[in-house]
Chain A
Amino acid sequence: MEPIISTKDLMRTFGGVTALNLVSLDIYDKQLRSIIGPNGAGKTTLINVITGKLGASGGEVFYRGQPITNYSVHKRVRMGICRTFQINSIFMGLTVYENIRIATQLHLGGSGRVFARRTSLKKVNQEAESIVDRLNLNEVAYQSVENLAYGDQRLVEVGIALACDPKVLLLDEPTAGMSPKETRHIARLIQELAKEVAVVLVEHDVELVMTISDRLTVLHQGGIIAEGPPQEISNNCDVKDAYLGSTKWAPLLETD
Chain B
Amino acid sequence: MSNRTNQAPGSLLRRWSGAHPLSLGGFVLVVAGMVVLPLVVTNPFYQNLWTRILIFGLLAMSLDVLLGFTGLLSFMHNSYLGLAAYAAGLFTINVNPESLWLAMLVGVVFTMIIAWPVGWLQVRTGGLAFALLTMAFGMMYYTVAWKWHDVTGGDDGLVAAIEHGLPKVAEEGMVPYLDINLGPWNLGNTSDPVHVYYLVLFIVVVAFILTHRMVNSPLGAVLEAIRENEERASFVGINVRRFKLIGWLVACGLAGLAGTLWMFLERNIAPDTMHAFEGAEVLMMVLLGGMGSLWGPFLGAGIFILLKDCLSSATEHWEIYVGLVVIFLVLFLPKGVAGLSSMLRRKPSENK
* Residue A248 at the chain B interface, CB threshold 8 Å: no
A115 to B206, CA, bound (A): 13
Selected contact of B219 from candidates A113, A129, A160, CB within 8 Å: A113
For chain B, give the interface size range: 35 or more
Chain B residues within 8 Å of A120, by CB: 2
* Residue A226 at the chain B interface, CB threshold 8 Å: no
* Residue B237 at the chain A interface, CB threshold 8 Å: yes
Q: Which residue of A lies closest to B242 (CB)?
A: A74
A252 to B282, CA, bound (A): 57
Q: Which segment of A28-36, A55-63, A92-100 sits at the interface?
A: A92-100
Interface mask (B264-292 → A, CB under 8 Å = 1, otherwise 0): 00000000000000000000000000000
Q: Is the CB of A72 within 8 A of B239?
A: yes
B residues lining the A interface (CB < 8 Å): 1-9, 11, 13-14, 17-18, 210, 213-214, 216-222, 224-225, 227-229, 231-240, 243, 351-352
Chain A residues within 8 Å of B2, by CB: 119-120, 122, 125
Shortest distance in angstroms between B229's beta carbon and chain A's nearest beta carbon?
5
A residues lining the B interface (CB < 8 Å): 51, 53, 72-74, 77-78, 82-83, 85, 89-95, 97-98, 101-103, 105-107, 110-122, 124-126, 129, 142, 144, 146-147, 160-161, 163-164
Q: Is the CB of B228 within 8 A of A73?
A: no
Q: Is the CB of B4 within 8 A of A164?
A: no
- Given A125-B1, A125-B2, is A103 in contact with B237 using a C-beta cutoff of 8 Å? yes
A101 to B216, CA, bound (A): 13
Q: Is the CB of B221 within 8 A of A83?
A: no
Q: Is the CB of A77 within 8 A of B234?
A: yes
CB pairs A–B below 8 angstroms (19 shown): A72-B239, A77-B235, A77-B236, A78-B237, A85-B232, A91-B233, A94-B225, A94-B228, A97-B5, A111-B218, A111-B243, A113-B218, A114-B213, A114-B217, A117-B213, A118-B218, A122-B2, A124-B218, A147-B352
- Given A73-B234, A142-B8, A164-B236, is A117 in contact with B219 using a C-beta cutoff of 8 Å? no
Selected contact of A118 from candidates B220, B234, B235, CB within 8 Å: B220
Q: Is the CB of A82 within 8 A of B218?
A: no
Selected contact of B218 from candidates A121, A147, A163, CB within 8 Å: A121
Across the A-B interface, give the 10 residue pairs with the lowest CB-CB distance, nearest first.
A91-B228, A77-B237, A103-B236, A106-B237, A73-B234, A102-B225, A89-B232, A115-B213, A110-B218, A144-B11
Selected contact of B221 from candidates A77, A92, A101, CB within 8 Å: A101
Q: Is the CB of B229 within 8 A of A90?
A: yes
Shortest distance in angstroms between A171's beta carbon and chain B's nearest beta carbon?
13
Q: Is the CB of B229 within 8 A of A119?
A: no
